[in-house]
Amino acid sequence: MSELYTEIERFTEAKEALSSAITLYDKYADINPACAEKATDSRKALDSLKEVQRFTNGVNSGLSPEEKKIAALLADGLTKREIIRKLHISASVFEKYEKSFREKLDLTAVIDKVTAAAATKYMLTKRETEVLGCLRQNMSNDEIAAELFLSDDTVRKYVRNLMKKIPIEKRSNIAEWD
């Protein structure tokens, strides 16, 4: 967990550096079009850092030490069985802690175990997790939009962001992803 705290400090420093860079790029965007492009890219990176920081702040506040351990191990990609063996706990204890931290981090809308693992490992937002769950059910963008009360453009944005975050090359492979 000390690695997590070090990462939080690094994210904070990176966030401050990106904010400064955006200010400079915006200042010179009229003179040099490349600066405008760099400002846009920096804003995207800053948004990603803020999302990661939101997740890590959740991990740091309100979770018991056991919940933090399980959340961190899930984020590292360990399976339920591996975590149970590593922590020397029963399956029912694991499930109790997992349910508790998912509720505290507002990850209760997770549809299946693969989606749950992806949400933790790739630090997906609540909405990205919901969209991933729909994609795993082979839903079209129109169906996802209707299910989650989103616009088609918003669904396309979430799908595009998910494809950048998760190690899947084709959307059609998501349903079979284990």
96/15: higher pLDDT = 96
- Determine the Cα–Cα distance for residues 43 and 168; give it in Å rounded to an integer: 24
Tell me, what amino acid is at 79?
A: T
The residue written with tokens 């669904």 in the block is 155
Question: pLDDT tens for residues 35-78?
Answer: 777 777 777 766 666 665 555 555 455 778 888 778 777 766 67
pTM of the model: 0.41
CB 24 within 8 A of CB 39: no
Question: pLDDT tens for residues 76-131?
Answer: 667 778 888 899 999 889 888 877 877 776 655 445 677 878 888 888 888 888 89
